[in-house]
Chains A and B, each alone.
Chain A
């Protein structure tokens, strides 16, 4: 393990954890996903020639890990059980809208959840999201547009109370 590795962890583990929470709806599962992602980097990261793509590589890997885990869970449980997973109960600094925002983000359809989470959490561009999720840029734009619209509809009444 090198100083480069610890610096990479320090720079991205927070963002990856937040992305994982939005996908997995569970803090413990999110921590596992984050750890698993960095373990993959420790084993295979040296194969990435363009080091400026490290962040994209990490988000792509975490998303794939999530989908693989999700697939296994689906094989073992029926959909009604999956739908009953509670929204995350997370201790947050911002008491105004944080819990509601995370719960709403987590409740988005899986199709929209990852691109919307990447947009709000990491400020990634259309191109970066497309690369991370391995989907066309036009698909990213439409999913982001619809996903944001749904999220904003859910959160608008709450936010207007504070305006």
Chain B
């Protein structure tokens, strides 16, 4: 086959059958599955380092306030960062069973009571309705910017999973609005975010392609 002459009018050489085969082949390369999360984590780490550097240039009062906030666990992180953390780091860890649940139970009320006793945020009145074959399997608590947050994991007979994260909305910059969820896919996983009664929630699908709108 000969190489076709470039077509200047559209600014690209025309494609023939062999070009299409080559294009299809080279585009079949898949990036490593954890690359997306690694990039976001590295950028977040880099941003934290830059923030610490900038903090050194703040007034003594601002620096003291920032140190106090860290000391007393009242530092606030941006909701966008929290959502990235739970969608690209925590959920894959839960799906891969690299994190051990604090309590395993199929009773939602038992999990909520346990979170209440642990003084961790819990999904009371969240509006999330796990219907059909979905049922809770357990819960876990975490720390983020000195704030506690929790997750309750729901599974469909062990096949598909969804993970409901709860955090105090007052511990976040720019929490999601009350009511209607905001939809965003992160690292290939669909997420829904909303707030209710001062608590912010992120529901993360355990795999790509799930329609989280079914659960509201």
Q: Which residues in A have some Cβ–Cβ distance to B below 8 Å?
A: 1-3, 5-6, 9-10, 13-14, 17-18, 21-22, 27, 31, 34-35, 38-39, 42-43, 90-94, 96-98, 100-102, 105, 117, 119-121, 123, 125-127, 141, 144-145, 148-149, 151-152, 155-156, 159, 162
Contacts and interface: CB of A to CB of B under 8 A. Distances in A.
Interface stretch (B102-110, B125-133, B136-144, B180-188): B180-188
Contacts of B211: none
Interface in B139-186: 184-186
> A98, A117, A156 — which one has the most chain B CB atoms within 10 A of its CB?
A98
Contacts, number: 141
A68 B13 CA distance: 30
B6 interface: yes
Interface in B1-35: 1, 3, 6, 10-13, 18-19, 21-32, 35
Nearest to A141: B6
Nearest to B7: A126
Interface string B35-48: 11011101110110
- Interface size for chain B: under 10, 10 to 19, 20 to 34, or 35 or more residues? 35 or more
Contacts of B1: 152, 156
Nearest to A125: B11
A11 B34 CA distance: 15
> B1, B26, B32, B40 — which one has the most chain A CB atoms within 10 A of its CB?
B26
Contact of A3 (B3, B184, B187): B184
A88 B50 CA distance: 36
Given A5-B43, A13-B35, A17-B31, A151 B12 contact: no
Given A92-B30, A121-B23, A149-B3, 11 more contacts: A1-B80, A2-B78, A17-B35, A22-B26, A38-B43, A39-B42, A98-B25, A120-B26, A120-B27, A152-B3, A155-B21
B84 interface: yes
A16 to B, nearest CB: 9
Interface of B: 1, 3, 6, 10-13, 18-19, 21-32, 35-36, 38-40, 42-44, 46-47, 50, 78, 80-81, 83-84, 184-187
Contact of A159 (B6, B18, B184): B18
A122 B36 CA distance: 19
A90 B35 CA distance: 15
Contacts of B39: 9, 13, 34-35, 38-39
Contacts of B78: 1-2
Contact of A93 (B13, B19, B28, B84): B28
Contacts of A13: 31, 35-36, 39
Contacts of B19: 120, 148, 152
Closest CB pairs A-B (n = 7): A101-B25, A125-B11, A17-B31, A94-B28, A98-B25, A97-B25, A98-B28
A121 B10 CA distance: 18
Nearest to B79: A3
A1 B81 contact: yes
A45 to B, nearest CB: 10
A105 B32 CA distance: 20
B148 to A, nearest CB: 22
Given A101-B22, A120-B23, A10 B185 contact: yes
B38 to A, nearest CB: 6
